Structure 1
Amino acid sequence: MDEKHKNVLAKNLVNICKVLDPSDIYDFLIGGDVLTWRDMEMIEANETRSDRALKLVEILQRKDPTAFDVFINALKSNYRHLHDLLQDPDHSFGINLPLLEAENLERELKQFYQRRLKKINPLPWRHQYLFSAEIVYIEQTLFRSEALYSTQLSRNGQEMRASQVFTRHELSDDPKRILIEADPGMGKSILCKMLTLMWSKECSDGNCGSSSPCIHSFNLLFYLHAKNFRRCTSIADVICECLLARDYGMSPSTLNKILKSSK
């Protein structure tokens, strides 16, 4: 690798180690003949994500001059701000680092939810029975609260799907808080899980966020239980404790800033 590109990586090493998960770009780097399978094994042998990112940079610096461009292109899809930061280091003051951290937090949460919530256990007393959430989930019929006290005939046409709970209606142009009420065992918990899992994946509705907002209208989503707050004093503490890996490297104060700036 050229000396100037080594200097760019060295100058931005803190940001790279802070936000990059090498596993997100292995396919680009191996396909671009920059990494070998042996290189990937050496990187994955490191315990923490930041150590793996550091090892990746170390290996890249020993590669031929094309390695830097392949690495930059690999970042373009999922790490846009990091890509811009490395692409034009002389203008790094214009990069919105808080936004970079927020985007990385979003990516971290989505990966966590896809790992943690893809399986459900409908029988708590039988922990060995796990099922695919998307296969066994049966969508419930939902009604707005005013429809619950109407006759069955007047309820017709007032049903909604889970993906529509944040859609604008006559009582609110921008609904952001919902209260789900139902008898025990009716599926409130699994509905919350499925909404979270839905958020962690690409939106299938082309109008999402515009004329028909859904769960994807939110930049960040935190799936928490009331019991999680017993040992913590703030929402940021709970999120760091329950949803983020120990080596993620984001402090509660940084997370608080992101929460205040996100919608």
Structure 2
Amino acid sequence: MPASIKWLVKHLKESYWKLFDKLQPLPWNDTFFLKLSDVYTKLEVAEVGNRGEKVKRQGFSKQSEHRTVSEREIFGSSESAPTPKRIIIEGAPAVGKSTFCRKLAYDWADGNFGRYKLAFFLEVRHVQNKSIVETIFDQLLPDDSKISKEKLEEFLSANEDSILLIFDGLDEIDNTLKEDAKSVPNRIIQKKLLSNCTVVITSRPHEVDGQLIYCDSHFKINGFTAEDREKYILKYFNDNVESVEKLTKCLNDCYIFLDDDEEIILSNPLNVLYVCVFWEDHQNDECFPTKMTDLYEKILEFILTRYCTINKIDIDPENGIDLAKGKVPGEIKTAVDTLAEIAYNTMKEEL
């Protein structure tokens, strides 16, 4: 292996170890971190087409039976088995798609995917209509890189079978690139470029329907299991079993979490995080939010209150911030109104 490629391997591994070992789930709390392994969510098989076959979406109903797989299995049942070249993984917002991608990159750095000499974690929202080499340099390499673009392009062309590309968030692609059949992301997904590379693509549901015909494997992020959720909550409260037991009882008693959508609501890591955040400051409240709208409203009030406190913005000492009653400090009212308008317009578009 050329010295420049050895440097690149070392640089990528060190970057993934440093960036992805821990996650900071709460932007306002720089002392609370979670190990990547603590928030990793399992995959559930949706439908797998034979190599080269058109894959049709059948949907993911709660009644459907899908087996759970490890991240290693998405690349094939064994090291000697043929590797699917285009792998699509979909999931609802905040269910763990980016976490899964980070874990792939981290596990590669740990030597778990020996068939790949190089693995590139790329965020699609930052992808422009540049060559894949230029995109790699933009997102992953320093200005004083010890490998040239020409050397990297030469190595990729000669070693396609041993290259892993991880495209995180295809649904966030720029609309111009999305609609351009000749854009680099589309050409890669459609196997017109780097056809023998293994490409893992994550996206929200239905945003990849037009690309399913090109994929060899199709998976769904299933979110937290009950066991995952319990471990996550325990970690959040620093192994305080008493707090966890109280919260668990509250959730069991609260009818919002006892309807048919219970698993959908609590399988989402972000929702579980919000529940923990709210519970932390409201353990003695008589009424836990009974609707997801109420929970998100309380979380937003919490974030705004924290922002005002940090920035020394006066808040009503008796009632605090109350979004339902329009009680918001004048200094942040414009920002809150803008956020509400964006949310309303987005909801109208999706109806």
- Structure with greater contact order relative to length (CA < 8 Å, sep ≥ 6): 2
* Greater percentage in strand: 2
TM-score by length of 1: 0.49
